[in-house]
Structure 1
Amino acid sequence: MNRRLDLTARNFPSAKDECEALTPHPNYDGPGSAYELAFKDEAFLLRDDMRPVRMQLELLKPELQLTEQGVRSTVVIFGSARIPPRDAAEQRVAAAEAGGEPDAIRRARMQLDMSRYYEEARNLAKLITEGSAARGEPIYVVTGGGPGIMEAGNRGAFDAGGKSVGLNIVLPHEQRPNPYITPELCFRFHYFALRKMHFLMRSVALVCFPGGFGTLDELFESMTLMQTGKSRRRPILLFGREFWSRLINFDLLLETGMISPGDERMFHYVETAEEAWALLETEYELATTPTL
């Protein structure tokens, strides 16, 4: 027996060991009994009073897993779940034209036009994954883990043979994680606030593709945290100047004093994956030759 192992041996059994060693107690295992271990008692953990503990767990689980997986720097890709890949959009146009309903045809053609953003998000994620890996400083793509632009981001990293993160969330309508997320980096959240916190904790840049309420919420919370000094400033890239300038009148915010001069420089408009990656290369001097 190697007594030196005692120097690092556990003094107490782990929670897992203790759960596995439990023996049933018929007199106390029935409904309504309070005998279950607290950390194993689902009914107890789901009480309203335990919300602070559940929030802490939702903060800790991804944090510990990401640390263990060596994820230090990320680029977050936000965008609509409703933007399909080009092949799917083309199929919808064909089906709509076969049906002959003008509104359906118009919507399908708009989706086909917007599908270019899916392809740009996929290409950008591939460039980030390949470009950072080549320097030995991996930058991981993070998305909300769903379909559309989120799928495109995870898919691009997958195309490059790299890992990527998906931060999925429970919604009233079922949302499944897309199939391109690295399984050990795929998380499910209940609280939007903690999910958004994890988007920002390791990010070196935020990339916003066209999207709806959820995308706008993520963008403006990020900008507010940077504007107020709660979070360090980092590049924010808005894909598609025409979309964003029509959606948000930043000039009006400046003219009316709702934001300060300089706040409009918190973001950059970009149109292509190559343009976005070049901007990040410049920002972080990634295009220089690594020191050997």
Structure 2
Amino acid sequence: MQLETYISDLLYRYECVTIPEFGAFLTQRVSATIEATTNTFHAPKKVVSFNEQIQQNDGLLAHYIADVEKIPFELANRKIAKRVKLLKSYLTQGETLTFKNIGDIVFNDEGKILFEPTYHLNYLTDSFGLSEFVTPTVTREVYKKEAEAIEKVIPIAITPEKRQSKSYLKYAAVALIALTIGGFGASKYYVNQIETHNQLAQRQATQQLDSKIQQATFNLNPFPAITLNVTKQTGNYHIVAGAFRVEGNCDKKVKQLKSDGFSARKIGANKYGLHQVVYASYEGRIDALKSLRNIKKTHNSDAWLLVKKLD
């Protein structure tokens, strides 16, 4: 029994997944962060922790296993108990328990459980498609200091003698202003002429079109009726193939998946503005999970299940 796979599935939707008589995996939402030393931006995520004090069976894990494996609830509980007994024996022997995409558990020197989470998978579905990125350091302050140093070495000043010798500049300025005003008046006159021409041309074109419409005779021949069988996908369980910032890439992904035999479609953009593409939508959770496992094995290991009621 792949216990870590079932736990990983549940961590997308629940904040606490308990393994009876062993402990519980907890998730806590963390906002986007920036590492000042490396200028790395990290998307919002769920941080996973482990609490060995929470061991009471809430039935969540057993019910999920029973639904997926189509077995009775009591049998699922017995399977979990058997696996827990094996996990505890590994811990007492000093071995490290590795839960794929979740973290590692080991006993310390005092006999207490230590948990080291892994960050290979972001369980916050709102952040799907967002990855970390690094931005270069802004160096504006460095350039400012260099400019100040140059000003100290090479001062720029205008002496009274130079100002007197450049008296002709004021006449050039007056001439420039006069040319600007004249040019503005000519430009305004030209724009008005163009606007008048466009209005006349548009009026003539409209009159010609009305005349042709009045003279035209339309002969509409009835075409045979065509019946199209369109299957509308419904359900609140959607297997997400990807999310794209550019909608054109979203359309390409839908076309590609349809050519592979999937009932792919777009389900709109999430709150981050990313356009989402799904392999298919399902009414039942069990059918959706079976299809998700098959897609992960054969087509896309990064596919995930979105539970959402679409408008």
TM-score range, shorter chain: under 0.3
Which structure dedicates a bigger proportion of its chain to helix? 1
What is the TM-score normalised by the length of structure 1?
A: 0.20
Larger radius of gyration: 2
Which structure dedicates a bigger proportion of its chain to strand? 2
Q: Which has the higher contact order (CA 8 A, sep 6+)?
A: 1
